[in-house]
Amino acid sequence: MIDELIIKAVKIRTIIFGSSIAWTKIYISSTNDIIINDSDIMVYRTKLQDVEKYPVHDPICFIYKKDFIYIQDDGSIKYNPEHIELNNLFLMREMDILYHKIINSDNLPLLAMDEDLKSNPSFQEMEKIKSGDGLQKFYIMNYNTNCRYYIPYFVSLFKIKKSDSYSGKVYDVDDRHLWIKITVKKPKLEPIDMHMQILKLGDM
């Protein structure tokens, strides 16, 4: 079962990143939430499809590197020992803390939300930018308070695709930080939440 879960997690990782990212940290929770971390900027969370097929198990974590899995003729998996170390204690602790931080983020005070970012004019501008344009910003607005919360964006942070739909929430962490959750709905996948903590860029 562990082998099957790892393969499914790697397939999801490939859908998100393609082959452009050389390595990622991957964590599969006991209830089959998947956390994927490629940097200190953005963390991805999704869930396996048909999750009810898989029993509760101990958490699994590993660092994915290119070509770390070899599928043999009999269908079994062989791992390249140079490319994977399952359940390293330090990585497990790091990813377990990150996982609980993410699942608890919904308890933070909600400042603003947008259920359809594709209809947000500032997000529409992000669809037009190219990699050479560098850092840009879009906002999510609280219409009750008329406050705009600015969110940094550049092309390599995540790609905005026409076939996907997007929603966003802004949470208050403390006097200096916001917690951002952008949810992407893709065909044939469970929704993917993209989380990042940012400095308060100013609201007006």
C-alpha 58 chain-centroid distance: 21
In the structure encoding, which two tokens stand for residue 10, read together? 């790697």
Q: Are residues 71 and 124 both part of a single domain? A: no
Q: Which of 29-38, 52-61, 182-191 is predicted least confidently? A: 52-61
Residue 204 lies in a domain: no
Q: Are residues 119 and 76 both part of a single domain? A: no
Final residue belonging to a domain, choices 83, 103, 123: 103
E strands, 29-146, where?
33-37, 43-47, 60-65, 69-71, 77-79, 110-114, 136-142
Please report the pLDDT score of residue 60 as a whole number: 92
The percentage of residues in the chain with a pLDDT greater than 70, rounded to a whole number, is: 86
Q: Are residues 96 and 155 both part of a single domain? A: no
Residue 16 lies in a domain: yes
Q: Are residues 90 and 138 both part of a single domain? A: no
Q: Which of 21-25, 79-83, 147-151, 154-158 is predicted least confidently? A: 79-83
Final residue belonging to a domain, choices 50, 70, 103: 103
- As a whole number of angstroms, the distance between CA 156 and CA 134 comes to 9
Residue 30 has pLDDT above 70, yes or no: yes
Instruction: Share the mean pLDDT of the chain.
Output: 86
Residue with tokens 């290119």: 66
Residues 6+ apart with CB under 8 A from 167: 113, 114, 115, 116, 117, 182, 183
Residue 80 lies in a domain: yes
Q: Are residues 51 and 83 both part of a single domain? A: yes
Q: Which of 64-73, 109-118, 135-144, 192-201 is predicted least confidently? A: 64-73
Residue 53 lies in a domain: yes
Residue 38 has pLDDT above 90, yes or no: no
DSSP 189: S
Residue 172 lies in a domain: yes
Residue 131 lies in a domain: yes
Residues 6+ apart with CB under 8 A from 179: 105, 108, 170, 171, 172, 173, 195, 196, 197
In the structure encoding, which two tokens stand for residue 147, read together? 């406050």
Q: Are residues 140 and 64 both part of a single domain? A: no
**How many domains does the structure of the chain reveal?**
2
Q: Are residues 54 and 118 both part of a single domain? A: no
Final residue belonging to a domain, choices 72, 103, 134: 103
Q: Are residues 60 and 121 both part of a single domain? A: no
Q: Are residues 87 and 145 both part of a single domain? A: no
Radius of gyration of the chain (CA): 18
In the structure encoding, which two tokens stand for residue 100, read together? 């609980």
Q: Are residues 18 and 47 both part of a single domain? A: yes
Q: Are residues 20 and 77 both part of a single domain? A: yes
Please report the pLDDT score of residue 204 as a whole number: 43
Q: Read off the pLDDT of residues 81-132 as tens digits, 9 standing for 90 and up.
A: 555 667 888 999 999 999 999 999 999 999 999 999 999 999 999 999 888 8
Q: Specify whether the CB–CB gap between 45 and 193 falls below 8 A.
A: yes
117 burial type by CB count under 10 A (0-12 exposed, 13-18 middle, 19+ buried): buried
55-81: buried (b, 16+ CB within 10 Å) or exposed (e) per residue?
eeeebbbbbbeeebbeeeeeeeeeeee
Residue 54 lies in a domain: yes
Range of the domain at 113: 109-199
Residue 148 lies in a domain: yes
Q: What are the Cα distances from residue 182, in Å, to 19, 103, 122, 161?
A: 22, 14, 15, 14
Q: Are residues 13 and 78 both part of a single domain? A: yes
Closest CA to 35 of 88, 122, 124, 96: 96
- As a whole number of angstroms, the distance between CA 166 and CA 86 comes to 33
